[in-house]
């Protein structure tokens, strides 16, 4: 979730998971956040991203490939991507990337 499109209270309740109290899947929910937005996190992590114009969707696909099969070099890129994200306190998206790498 990008935190720039919600109130401060919603942001806190999402990040600390209290928003999901009472949900049957509460124990399995891991809120992933980017603050204030994914583009800002990518900038802070030194991940090249062209956030202008109509080519924006292609940039997301480049950064987050959707193929179910990936090469060894793509795995290295994803691990570097994850390492870069770990250096940014305004996200915990590295948890999601690590999970995906484990499951791949």
Q: Which structural domain range is residue 80 located in? A: 3-103
Q: Is 7 helix (H, G, I), strand (E, B) or coil?
A: coil
d(CA 11, CA 17): 10
Q: What is the domain count for the chain? A: 1
* Residue 66 and residue 5 in contact, taking contact as beta carbons nearer than 8 Å: no
- Predicted local distance difference test score (pLDDT) of residue 86: 95
Continuous H helices in the chain: 8-15, 38-44, 56-63, 72-86, 93-103
d(CA 39, CA 31): 18
Q: Over the stretch 50-104, which tens digit does the pLDDT of each residue have?
A: 767 666 777 777 777 666 676 777 788 889 989 999 999 999 999 999 998 898 7
């Amino acid at each position: 979730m990008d935190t720039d499109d919600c109130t401060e209270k919603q942001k806190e309740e999402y990040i600390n998971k209290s928003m999901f109290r009472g949900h049957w899947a509460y124990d399995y929910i891991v809120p992933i956040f980017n603050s204030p937005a994914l583009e800002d996190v990518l900038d802070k992590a030194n991940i090249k991203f062209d956030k202008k114009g109509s080519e924006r969707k292609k940039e997301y696909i480049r950064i987050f490939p959707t193929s179910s099969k990936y090469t060894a070099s793509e795995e290295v890129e994803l691990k570097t991507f994850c390492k870069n994200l770990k250096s940014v306190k305004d996200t915990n998206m590295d948890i999601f990337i690590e999970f995906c790498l484990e499951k791949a």
